[in-house]
Copies of this chain bind each other. A is one copy, B any other.
Amino acid sequence: MTALATDPAPASVAALRAALPGVVLDDSPTALAAHRTDRSAMPGDPNPLVVARPASTEQVSQLLAYANAHRIPVVPQGTRTGVAGAASAVDGAILLDLTAMDRIVGIDADDMIAVAQPGVIVSDLAAAAASRGLFYAPDPASAQISTLGGNVATNAGGMRCIKYGVTRESVRSLEVVLADGTILRTRPNTIKTVGGLDLTGLIVGSEGTLAVITEITVKLLPAPGPERGVLGLFPSVAQGLAATNRIASGSRTPARLEFMDGRCLEAIRKHIPDAPVPAEANAWALAVTDARDGAEEDLTSFEEIFTDAGATTVQRATSAEELEAILEARRQLQPSARGLLGGSVEGDIAVPRSALAAFSAGVAEVENAYDVTIALGGHVGDGNLHPIVAYTPAEGARARADEAVMTLSRLAQELGGTMSGEHGVGLEKLPALDTEMAPAALDLQRRIKALFDPNGILNPGKKY
């Protein structure tokens, strides 16, 4: 080990340039400002050191070896579409922008895998798979703008998890760079292996705190059938949730199962006057099938369940355009919700599906306690809701809304659930960790972090 490696000197961009001649380094105020945060409400620290854009795994390795020797924090970033602050800047950090590593390395139709760099946009990977008659299943709402590396680092969810699982379940293996610059492949690309511990699953969802992901092998599936859906409108939230629960636990698993309450519908209508959402309903549910066989039977079953549960309107969306318009309106819920009262904060709770009704019943009390308005929508097939807490411009209203989100998180935890179904911990959910898991579980996780990253350079201050 050289003196350089053992005697950290103050970090400087000039020293970085000298040590890493091949890596694009940008410390312009514009670049630093642009990379300071993600789409969360976390502003990010004001003084990161530099934005680095490596072009290869080797460059990532050189950069981490240097950063580790000099104790320079490193924050991995993709397109920064996360909503929990996991990619937010840290003072003095190298913001490791992986978007230049954006190559789809290959698609193997025989082994049904795709190999891609972390900067690939998720919908581009899905399109490349589709062009070979195959299917990349994960479909987070951000698929058109988020990177595969970011999806893997946060174990992204989305609308299709009820049938296909979360991102972790599509990741076959990873090439990663450890904090000290070591390049590692987590496992062979076989379907099965029991040769070692599951390092792959451990790194998926670790939000850039254990290693930097430089190549991802994902499993692909046979292309499903075309998507068709049934929309149901209900007089009450309870009836809507009863209907979706019956579908979710029934014999015909849908590809998507979404829910919105009347306030969500109101917010979308206000934001997008011609959105295909109804004028009056207290609950909206959408069940979609993509079955190659039995799609007609699926739709009939969804219709029957909606009707039995008391739907006032049951309507099919069978053309791709019609269904896409409905899905797009659903995707516009978050941007729309901001306009409800002036501002909004979004939660991301998940509970066992059987506890969704109890959760929704607890919301009114939270509204009263914090003087906020809460709209409930989300991926109910997974028991995953994104409560939108809307607040007025009144003084102190924002702080009350943040407290309301925390209270909703605790309510979910009390119901056997979690404060984050898919968005991640990042910075935003750190205050909810202590009530989320036992001290021993949190301690183990922090020790695993320290084992992977003894100098604490990888995304410090996040996740734990």
Q: Report A's interface with B, CB cutoff 8 A.
A: 108-113, 133, 154-155, 157, 161-162, 165-166, 168-169, 178, 182, 184-199, 201-202, 204-206, 210, 221-223, 245, 248-253, 291-294, 297, 350-354, 379, 382-384, 413, 416-425, 429, 432-433, 436-438, 440-442, 444-445, 447-449, 451-452
- CB neighbours (8 Å) of A418 from chain B are 187-188, 190, 192-195
Main secondary structure of the interface of A (DSSP, over half): loop
CB distance from A159 to the nearest CB of B (A): 12
Give the docked Cα–Cα distance between A184 and B342 (Å).
43
Nearest-Cβ distance from residue A356 to partner chain B, whole angstroms: 10
Distance to closest chain B CB from A362 (angstroms): 16
Query: B110 touching A185 by the CB < 8 A rule?
Result: no
Q: Which residue of B lies closest to A296 (CB)?
A: B293
Cα–Cα distance between A111 and B383 once the two chains are bound (Å) = 9
Instruction: Report the separation of the CA atoms of residues A110 and B248 in the bound assembly, to the nearest whole angstrom.
Output: 8
Q: Are B252 and A222 in contact (CB under 8 A)?
A: yes
CB distance from A410 to the nearest CB of B (A): 13
Residues of B within 8 A of A157 (CB): 192, 194
The residue of chain B having its C-beta at the shortest distance from the C-beta of A423 within the complex is B194
Question: Chain B nearest CB: distance from A13 CB in Å?
Answer: 30
Contact B437 A196 (CB under 8 A): yes
Chain B's nearest CB lies how many Å from the CB of A289? 10
| Inter-subunit contact A292/B251 (CB<8 Å) | yes
What's the least CB distance linking A288 to chain B, in Å? Answer: 16
Nearest 7 CB-CB pairs, A to B? Answer: A293-B294, A201-B201, A293-B293, A193-B418, A192-B421, A190-B350, A222-B251
Complex CA–CA separation, A418 to B193 (angstroms): 6
Residues of B within 8 A of A196 (CB): 425, 436-437, 441-442, 445
Chain B residue nearest in CB terms to A168: B198
Closest to A253 in B: B222
